[in-house]
Chains A and B, each alone.
Chain A
Amino acid sequence: MTIRDLADKLGSRVLIGQDRLDQPVYSACCSDLMSDVLAFVTEKTVLLTGLTNMHVLRTAEILDLKCLIFARGKMPGQEMLERAEEMGLVVLCSPHTMFTSAGLLYEAGLRGALMPSGAAQQSAS
């Protein structure tokens, strides 16, 4: 599966990275809580979020994420888009809610990013 497949499945707009859509993707995560993303994501994955502030980009930079998807048609500011371009990210804007966006991606065969060992037990307790 490629980022282009995700964009097609969601009917999303490509805000940044039109020339980088053919990268393969293997997993995704979905959160508005950047601390959770920082704690549990260890793969170069896709982040689906409803937050559109600079800390989403900072998190992507720290974790080397390759694609951001903003849910519910949310549009990040121009400054964010320019920074995302510098970072070589792909940024998509999904017209669906977070729940529906995640459901569509799951239905298409995308699975959740693996959590580090021990994290599942910790977060479930």
Chain B
Amino acid sequence: MSASALDKHYPIQHGDYTRAGEASADIKRTLRQLGVSADMMRRVSVAAYEAEMNMVIHSLGGEMCLQVEADHIRLTTQDVGPGIADIDSAMREGFSTANEEAQSMGFGAGMGLPNIKRNADAFNIHSQPGQGTRIEAVFYLS
């Protein structure tokens, strides 16, 4: 696999529960076509699905990107707000500010960010209230 073998961008809309998950499903299909192992495929697509749902539920919209390099996969999300005031709380399992609609879908129980972190080999989150949130999850291909 050559460097920067793949770079895909997915726009994510706030509140679009019907299409939510389509980007993650495409990410999974893409990784399968690239011959990525089943375990790695599961880890990346679970992280992608949680990140996508987070953006649909909480953000004002943004973009999710998948980059596949020779030795790692990088999943990033960048949204346009509203940002997270207390990242430490948001990273705690069970902490949630999601609404009832999200919960009726089986999400919004405070597992999203911890699930992304648990599946990734490296995880970074930067957020500024009033601006937006950027998440980066890296998965090393051995």
Contacts and interface: CB of A to CB of B under 8 A. Distances in A.
A33 B118 CA distance: 17
A123 to B, nearest CB: 8
Interface residues of B, number: 24
Interface stretch (B42-50, B68-76, B122-130): B42-50
Contact of B24 (A33, A62, A122): A62
A58 B28 CA distance: 11
B18 to A, nearest CB: 7
Interface residues of A, number: 22
Contact of A54 (B18, B45, B109): B18
Given A39-B111, A122-B93, A63 B106 contact: no
A9 interface: no
Interface string B92-106: 010000000000111
- The secondary-structure label for the interface of chain B is helix
A42 interface: yes
Contact of B49 (A51, A56, A62): A62
Interface in A46-100: 51, 53-56, 58-59, 61-64
List the 6 shortest-distance A-B pairs measured between CB atoms, nearest first: A34-B106, A35-B111, A58-B21, A62-B45, A39-B115, A38-B46
Interface of A: 32-39, 42, 51, 53-56, 58-59, 61-64, 122-123
